[in-house]
Structure formats: structure tokens, C-alpha cells
């Protein structure tokens, strides 16, 4: 198994101060204890002329177990932001003997992300995952569960969790949403265990369950090579306040299908380090945003090629660059948070996913924080929905 590397030294993390809001996870008392409802804990009595039957509240035992968890653990709940990423450029440099491809890419975290709520479970045998969208696996196929299993295997800890995943990042988008969820779960598990693993430990372990997970243990910008698991943490080469728009059609580009159609002899020959230097010196422009997976992705999904072409034709200088992220199917427009007008007017694009975003980094020894503007927009949307 390939070993991941982080070319910097950083250590452990401060837990988020967020606490759970109401969801289908356990609610919280002001004192910090986990409980399930507010019914009085007394036996229910059913009486007839022939018999007297006593039926105990079924939540009684679980409430007691949850109280015991709170008493014995220094941390029982944690809410974390799980941001996604874009590939500002993505060069495929060779094919490996193990069947994977070597790449060289500038990965950068952006402000679009999911929210994951973790709570210690009284169970010592199983995690329980819920989510707000359909179609997301809730068992061991999910990278969150894989990450928690991996952490227990590596550390010998026995914490299990209730997890609620509030998804905002679309799947099959080339944005690394699932990989970010896995990295966030590893970070969370380490917080619940008192930070017994180093940040570099988490990075190296993560390569066992996915190639892109390791990147999220950078500080938000990294030059990644190998399968993506060799992570050179770098200062952000671009201003964080550059706006962008993400446009993703409903159709996904299966990564396996994209690589099946990939031909190494038809890739760009530009040195990826030259691209990184140009971005650092002169910023993002169309000529540096090269993605060698665009041609095969456009073969898999021809409508995606037409979407990119239409965005570029309609931009009239609105965007500094338009490109596909990862293996697709998200098209990124750098320089403006607004999509072209045809996205709203054309019936063919009525179901596309649209989001504005900015570049994002994190502070040393802390996890990524959701930008205040994004959180405010989400709160406003929830309020509007609740009042309709």
C-alpha cells in the first residue's frame, strides 16, 4: 500500500465549539448530557379487572447509558464543517504498474461544504449514520464509516458514534465531497480520543481508504502527486477572496469510465511545476487551468463539453478561467460568483446544481471553519423554509 506524505510538521487540533442543533440525532441538555426526549421517567401502568401490567419507558435504559457516556468522556458531541475542493490544474503524468495513474495537481479547498455532527454512542459495537439526502450509503460503503473503522484499527480505541451528515456538496461532481467527509471523520475521532494521533498519522492512514483524503490534512492548498496521496502543503498561491461559481449538471462522470477512455499520449505536455509557478506569480488564467481528464470526461458525457463551451462563449470576460474539476462533472468559473444568464433561461439547465464559493484555508491545529457568510445564508434559507 502506498504511503502518504505531508511535507510539513503540524500537530493536533482544537475541538469545534459548535454543539448540535435539533436533528434526528440526540438533542442536548444545557448541562451537556445526551437524552432522547423529555418524557417523565416513570413506569406506565395499564390496569384491567383481570390483571395489572407494568410497562417501562423504552428510552429509560438508553438515557442512562447516554448519561454514563457524558460522565466518563471529556468530549461527547462535535459539529464540524467538511469542505470540498477543486483542482485548479490536473496533469496526469504516467500510468503505474498497479493500474493507477500518477498525477500532479494543485488542490485547493473551497467554501462549499457539508456539516457533520458527531455524538458518542453508548454502543461499543456499531456506528449509526444518517443523512439529509437519499442515495447516500449509510453502512460500511460510506467513507465516513470506513474512516472511523480505520481509526479504531490504528489506535485500538473503542469509541463508536452517532453521525448525521448534512450534505450540500453534490456527489459525482469531482469536488472530493466524500473524501472530505472521511478526513473530517478521522479528525473528529481523534478529538474524541484526546488527540492521540498526530496530524501526519491521520494523513498517512487515510491513503489506505482513498487517494484524495490525504489532501484535506494540508492547510487548504497543496501540490499533490502520486495517486494524490503525496501532499506538499503550500501557502495559498491565490487570494482567498477570489469568487467562483460551480455548475454541475445532474449527470455524473463515473471516475472509472473516465480513466478507461483516458489516453496518456493525448495529454498536455506542460510541466506541472511551471503551471504552479505561473499561478503563484500571475494568478489564475485560462492557460494554466489544464485538466487532462477533460477530453475523456467529455467523451463519457458530451453534454458536459457543450456546457463548458457555452459558459466560455457567454462569459465575455466575466471569468478568468473556466474548467472542469477532478474527473467531473462540475464546471468551475473563476472570477465571478454568478452563472451565465442562459443557465437560468435554457430549459436544458433547469436542474443543474449552482453554487458560489471562495478559496478556503485553515489555521494550524484547527479544522476548517465554515465561512460566516455561508452559515448566515444557510440559516436564512432554513428560516424561510420554516415560515412557508
Active site residues: 85, 212
SS3 annotation, 134-181? CCCCCCCCCHHHHHHHHHHHHHCCCCCEEEEEECCCCCCCCCCHHHHH
> How many other CB atoms sit within 10 Å of the CB of residue 365?
12
The residue behind cell 448519561 is 67
Specify the DSSP class assigned to residue 4: P
Q: Are 182 and 147 in contact (CB under 8 A)?
A: yes
Q: Which residue has the cell 443523512?
A: 131
- Neighbour tally for 347: CB within 10 Å: 6
Which residues lie closer than 8 Å to 316 by C-beta, 6 or more apart?
A: none
Asked if residue 166 has a cis previous peptide bond (ω within 30° of 0), the answer is no
What 3-state DSSP class applies to 215? Answer: helix
Q: At what angle do helices 177-192 and 143-155 cross, to 10 degrees?
A: 40
Buried b (16+ CB within 10 A) or exposed e, 32-62: ebbbeeeeeeeeeeeeeeeeeeeeebeeeeb
Between the CA atoms of 73, 78, 84 and 90, what dihedral angle is there, to the nearest 10 degrees?
-20
HEC secondary structure over 46-67:
EECCCCEEEECCCCHHHHHHHH
Rounded to 10 degrees, the C-alpha dihedral 287/288/291/292 comes to 80
* Burial status of residue 260 (CB atoms within 10 A of its CB: 0-12, 13-18, 19 or more): exposed
C-alpha cell at 245: 461559481
Residue 135 — left, alpha, or beta (φ > 0 → left; ψ -120 to 50 → alpha)? left
Alpha-carbon gap, residue 344 to 350, rounded angstroms: 7
Amino acid at each position: 500500500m502506498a504511503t502518504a506524505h505531508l511535507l510539513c510538521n503540524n500537530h493536533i487540533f482544537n475541538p469545534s465549539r459548535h454543539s448540535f442543533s435539533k436533528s434526528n440525532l440526540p438533542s442536548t441538555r444545557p448541562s451537556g448530557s445526551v437524552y432522547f426526549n423529555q418524557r417523565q421517567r416513570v413506569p406506565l401502568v395499564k390496569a384491567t379487572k383481570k390483571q395489572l401490567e407494568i410497562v417501562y419507558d423504552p428510552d429509560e435504559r438508553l438515557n442512562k447509558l447516554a448519561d454514563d457516556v457524558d460522565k466518563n468522556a471529556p468530549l461527547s458531541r462535535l459539529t464540524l464543517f467538511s469542505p470540498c475542493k477543486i483542482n485548479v490544474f490536473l496533469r496526469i503524468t504516467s500510468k503505474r504498474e498497479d493500474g493507477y495513474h500518477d498525477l500532479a495537481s494543485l488542490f485547493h479547498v473551497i467554501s462549499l461544504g457539508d456539516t457533520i455532527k458527531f455524538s458518542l454512542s453508548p454502543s461499543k459495537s456499531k456506528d449509526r449514520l444518517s443523512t439529509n439526502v437519499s442515495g447516500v450509503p449509510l453502512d460500511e460503503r460510506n467513507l465516513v464509516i470506513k474512516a472511523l473503522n480505520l481509526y479504531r484499527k490504528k489506535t485500538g480505541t473503542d469509541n463508536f458514534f452517532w453521525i448525521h451528515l448534512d450534505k450540500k456538496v453534490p456527489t459525482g461532481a469531482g469536488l472530493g465531497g466524500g473524501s472530505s467527509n472521511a478526513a473530517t471523520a478521522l479528525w473528529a475521532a481523534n478529538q474524541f480520543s484526546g488527540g492521540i494521533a498526530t496530524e501526519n498519522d491521520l494523513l498517512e492512514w487515510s491513503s489506505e481508504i482513498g487517494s484524495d483524503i490525504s489532501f484535506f490534512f494540508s492547510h487548504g492548498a497543496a501540490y499533490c502527486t502520486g495517486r494524490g496521496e503525496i501532499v506538499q502543503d503550500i501557502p495559498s498561491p491565490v487570494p482567498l477572496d477570489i469568487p467562483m461559481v460551480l455548475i454541475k449538471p445532474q449527470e455524473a462522470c463515473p471516475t472509472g469510465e473516465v480513466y478507461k477512455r483516458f489516453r496518456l499520449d493525448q495529454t498536455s505536455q506542460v510541466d506541472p511545476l511551471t503551471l504552479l509557478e505561473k499561478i503563484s506569480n500571475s494568478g489564475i488564467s485560462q492557460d494554466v487551468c489544464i485538466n487532462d481528464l477533460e477530453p475523456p470526461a467529455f467523451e463519457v458525457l458530451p453534454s458536459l463539453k457543450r456546457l463548458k463551451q457555452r459558459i466560455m462563449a457567454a462569459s465575455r470576460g466575466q471569468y478568468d478561467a473556466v474548467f472542469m474539476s477532478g474527473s467531473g462533472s462540475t464546471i468551475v468559473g473563476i472570477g465571478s460568483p454568478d452563472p451565465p444568464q442562459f443557465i437560468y433561461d435554457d430549459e436544458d439547465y433547469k436542474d443543474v446544481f449552482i453554487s458560489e464559493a471562495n478559496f478556503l484555508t485553515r489555521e494550524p491545529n484547527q479544522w476548517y471553519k465554515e465561512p460566516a457568510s455561508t452559515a448566515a445564508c444557510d440559516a436564512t434559507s432554513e428560516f424561510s423554509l420554516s415560515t412557508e
